[in-house]
Amino acid sequence: MEQIMQYRQIGKTGKKASVIGLGCEHLDRKPYEQVKETIDAALAHDVNLFDVFMPGEEIRDHIVKALGNRRKDIMIQGHIGATDINQQYDISRDLPTVKKYFEALLRKFGYIDFGMLFFIDSEEDYKGVFETGFVTYVEQLKKQGDIHHIGFSSHSPVTAMKVIETGVPEMMLFSINPAFDMLPAEYYVFDYSEKGFGSDLFRGIDPKRAELYRICTQKQIGITVMKAFGATKLLSAEHTPYAQPLTVHQCIHYALSRPAVASVLPGCQTAAQMHDVMQYFSVDDRKKDYAEVLSRVRNDFKGSCVYCSHCQPCPVEIDIAAIHRLLDTARLDLEHISASMQMEYAALAHASCVECGHCEVRCPFGVPVIQNVKEAEVLLG
């Protein structure tokens, strides 16, 4: 099989993740043979990041057995605080319970690459982790080498920003798809992912979510992505909130275009699904373009770049989306533009904008590209 996987650094962890990973959730309660064929397919495609949040003994055993001596070839996001008391998935902040479940995971996998503070969405979740012995326990796990990095998972942009402010995590698992990104930050994504989104809710990419991604870039918090297909609702003609469903590859491309994102973790449950997802690397760029679909909803934030690259090609080969990702991060704190951002800008080898205006005609979101490209040169050049 041709090796085509791409890799990205996960923020400041120094670890490189395959841009497509595997969320193992949907392998839960599946026969061992199915788990094995899916994991074999992932490894054959050079996937090196697995999310294992499931607290159940059987699925953990299946994954360990399917990996065999290939454990060292992959990195695992293991979640601290995921339990299945009474066979139900649950979240616990009770330290003896948390330890029992996490240490069972540690024993099976030997070590955990990314020890994830599990499911921090509400103020109560935040307090249960950061105002108790929970966080001290996790920091101790890292000191002992049982976990190599501390991460966390969240679905709330406001709470996620608060967690990042503590300075404890180095990376984050966050739910990202166009519908969630258009949901105003004060709405909770789970209230809508079950009953469906109404497009009347959407006003454009929510500024709080956009700010979260920029803060992650600024603080080098790498993002791994869950729910990229919105529990498959975005793929379905019946449930999509847009004029037409998105494809798997458009959803992956959307997530990978957000600032700070290192890897998207689709919940494949068969080898065939894994192979389908991997077509991302071979389909035509036009098939990944999500701009047309998004541009048909109401947009109160017109003028903000959604990093879709619909404006390309540029005659002097300026990567307009990449420049906007950097510019938006630089604008967060004009007094402290980091050397790494300037280096990233310099690495985007390009000539000066010749102001031909092609990009502005093609951009469905009314972004003043020429003005922004000039501003980027002043701030980052």
Binding residues for ligand SF4, rule: CB under 6 A, are: 291, 305-311, 314-316, 318, 320-321, 324, 353-359, 363, 365, 367, 369-370, 373
How far apart, in whole angstroms, are the C-alpha atoms of residue 12 and residue 213? 15
Specify the pairing of strand 75-80 against strand 49-52. Answer: parallel
If the CB atoms of residues 83 and 295 are measured against ligand SF4, the closer one turns out to be: 295
Instruction: Pick the closer one to ligand SF4 by CB: 231 or 370.
Output: 370
For ligand SF4, the closer of residues 4 and 316 by Cβ is 316
C-beta of 226 vs 311, nearer to ligand SF4: 311
Q: Which residues contact 208 (CB under 8 A, 6 or more apart)?
A: 157, 158, 161, 184, 185
Residue at token pair 């590209």: 369
Closest approach of ligand SF4 to the CB of residue 214, in Å: 15
Residues 6+ away with beta carbon under 8 Å from 246: 178, 229, 234, 235, 240, 254, 290, 293
When the beta carbons of 277 and 330 are compared against ligand SF4, the nearer one is 330
Residue 29 has phi, psi (to 5 degrees) of 65, 20
Considering the complex, what minimum distance in angstroms separates the CB of residue 160 from ligand SF4? Answer: 24
How many angstroms separate the Cα of 112 from the Cα of each of 13, 41, 53, 103, 320? 14, 22, 12, 10, 38
Hey, which residues does 225 pair with through a beta bridge?
174, 264
* Type of residue found at 302: K
Smallest separation, CB 243 to ligand SF4 (Å): 18
Nearest to 193 by CA among 253, 234, 248: 234
Report the nearest approach of ligand SF4 to the CB of residue 294 (Å).
Answer: 9
CB of 355 to ligand SF4, least distance (A): 5
Of 355, 301, 296, 10, residue with least CA distance to 149? 10
Q: Which is nearer to ligand SF4, 85 or 316 (CB)?
A: 316
In this complex, which beta carbon is closest to ligand SF4, that of residue 201 or of residue 321? 321
Q: Which residues pair with 75 in a beta bridge?
A: 49
Q: What minimum distance in Å lies between the beta carbon of 314 and ligand SF4?
A: 3
User: Closest CB to ligand SF4 among 103 and 355?
Assistant: 355
Cβ atoms 89, 118 nearer than 8 A: no
Q: Given the structure tokens 């729910």, which residue do they identify?
A: 227
CB 17 within 8 A of CB 48: yes
Relative to beta strand 82-83, strand 90-91 is: antiparallel
CB of 259 vs ligand SF4, minimal distance in Å: 12
Considering the complex, state which of residue 278 and residue 306 has its C-beta at the smaller distance from ligand SF4.
306
Distance CA 156, CA 179 (A): 14
Q: How far is the CB of 352 from ligand SF4 (least distance, A)?
A: 8
In angstroms, what is the minimal distance from the CB of 226 to ligand SF4?
Answer: 24
